[in-house]
Amino acid sequence: MQVDRSFIREVEERSGQRFGACFHCMACSGGCPVSDIMDYLPNQIVRMMQLGMRREVLESRAIWVCVGCYSCVSQCPNRVHIPYMMDALRELALEEGVKIGEPDIWTFHREFLKQVDKRGRVYELEFMARYKLATLSLFNDMGSGMKMLFNGRLELLPHRVKKLQEIRKIREVCYGKK
Amino acid sequence: MEKNENAPVPEGYVPHPRVYYYPGCSLMSTARDLGESLFQMARLVGSWLEELKDWNCCGASPAHSVNQNYAILLAGRNLVLAERQGIKDLFVICPSCFVRLRTAAKTLMADEDKNALLEEAVGKRYQGSVRLRFFLEVGSASQMNVFRQAVVNPLKGLKGVLYFGCLLTRPEWITGFDVLPYEDELRSFVESMGVETLDWGYGKQCCGAHLALTKPDHVDSLVDRIRDHARRVGANCMISFCPLCQVNMELRGKNSEPLPVFYVSELIGMACRLPRTEKWIRKHLVDPRKLLAEHNLL
Ligand code: SF4
Ligand code: SF4
């Protein structure tokens, strides 16, 4: 295992958090609704960063499974903002091109953002279809999608932002020109 | 000018009838029932709901999950639009959009570089003049009274648990709600529609949010646990504030019997017999008509 001392500083910088404040009381992990399906608990991620385990953290599934529900923040006695940490870690994982721990969740985010990029708004019908195509999970869950469609809860036509050039420009300044 | 306390105020008078709102992507689709009931609710107090013109998606979870600047700028564009359109109070419908917009507003005011980035993209910095408010805050005391007075069909027989979900009140330094009084207020409001509210411990448990698509099994078990507890305290319906929670609660879960999940605005619609109630009631994924008929509420 490679120990990377600069890793935790980088994450502190990006997330605006100070992880020295964490005393591993595990309040964050205890209240986390998705801890069951995490490979490492939120405070374990903090510990691993303290130990310089860069690759293990960036390739973890935990960072993708976190839904940003803020339960952990409300419970942390030191107000360590775990979801901001998770944001920073996913960003780094993508930048460094490491193996993504939860490819389907990344696909979900990516397809969603493609919608935003295309119209400035999300057209749920197309979004769901594309997500399903991309993950080949086409026939799971058809029932619930159909139910929403027939109940008139999915939009039949997409809406778009008028000044789409502004949305494109936002993407450009955040991601660099493509 | 001095306020004249004795001036006659017509019943139901609302000082600022124009209410600007940010709908968010789900309001016109998966949360259409919320949208429609909301318009009726606004009409009742005589306000005019006006959409933020040319709004864009706030980025939701995906944007902040993978590129923090992108999240701030997407949400930030809406703030700049509001400023350009001279909007002082912008009401946000979805708790998740609300947190995104609030976070962007705070970040942009604190971080010059990010604000400069926003300017580069949309040609203007955010000045910080927009007050972001959650839509239920429309209910200033006087307006809430308008609703209370309009109740003609008290929803006797509905026993509900308030399901706030993750983001409605959390974390306080972002939402800005003084949490306990706010929760009490919502509860007393729901009660004044005639609904009996029950105590339970799962009001803020996460519904699993977008993992419903990527990790359906896990979300099923989260929903089962929440709904099971709602049933155990004797609820026959749940009251939700967030479009995503509402869909997950009605659609997911395998081992617990589904419960109808209402929005507060729908309760108002039913209790005050607002027009077109029947139309959005039908859009529920768990049909509430049986429950409502049992108690003669339709
Ligand atoms: S709750 Fe806060 S202090 Fe406790 S382990 Fe988690 S991050 Fe560390
Ligand atoms: S924000 Fe993420 S880590 Fe924190 S409790 Fe929610 S899912 Fe768990």
Query: Is it the case that residue A86 has pLDDT exceeding 50?
Result: yes
Which chain A residue is nearest to residue B34, measuring alpha carbons?
A153
Q: Can you give chain A as a three-state secondary structure string?
A: CCCCCCHHHHHHHHHCCCHHHCCCCCHHHHCCCCHHHCCCCHHHHHHHHHCCCHHHHHCCCHHHHCCCCCHHHHHCCCCCCHHHHHHHHHHHHHHHCCCCCCHHHHHHHHHHHHHHHHHCCCCHHHHHHHHHHHHCCCCCCHHHHHHHHHCCCCCCCCCCCCCHHHHHHHHHHHHCCC
Ligand 1, residue A26: give the atom nearest the CA.
Answer: 5
- What average pLDDT does range B262-290 have in this prediction? 84
pLDDT value at B3 more than 50: no
Q: Does ipTM surpass 0.90 in this model?
A: no
Dist CA A144 CA A159 (whole Å): 23
Q: Answer whether A15 contacts ligand 1 (Cβ < 6 A).
A: no
The values of phi and psi at residue B270, to 5°, are: -75, -45
Please tell me the least confidently modeled range out of A21-30, B41-50, B160-169.
Answer: B41-50
Which of A115, A125, A160, A166 to probe the B interface (max B CBs under 10 A)? A166
pTM over 0.95: no
Interface test with B, best of A89, A109, A149, A171 (most B CBs within 10 A): A109
Q: Grade residue B189 by pLDDT with cuts at 50, 70 and 90.
A: confident
Measured from the Cβ of residue B284, the count of other Cβ atoms closer than 10 Å reads: 18
Q: How many CB pairs under 8 A join A and B?
A: 164
Mark yes or no for CB contact A115/B57 under 8 Å.
Answer: yes
Mean pLDDT over A46-57 rounds to 96
Query: What tokens does B5 get?
Result: 């306390």
CA distances to B89, B139, B208 from B134, in Å: 10, 10, 22
User: Is the confidence at residue A139, as pLDDT, over 80?
Assistant: no
**How far is the centre of ligand 1, averaged over its atoms, from the C-alpha of B206 (Å)?**
19
Nearest protein Cα to ligand 1, atom 3: A22
Q: Position A25: which residue type?
A: C
Dump pLDDT digits (tens) for B22-71.
988 766 555 666 767 777 777 766 777 888 999 999 988 888 888 999 99
H helix intervals, B67-215 = 68-84, 95-110, 112-122, 141-149, 172-175, 179-192, 211-214
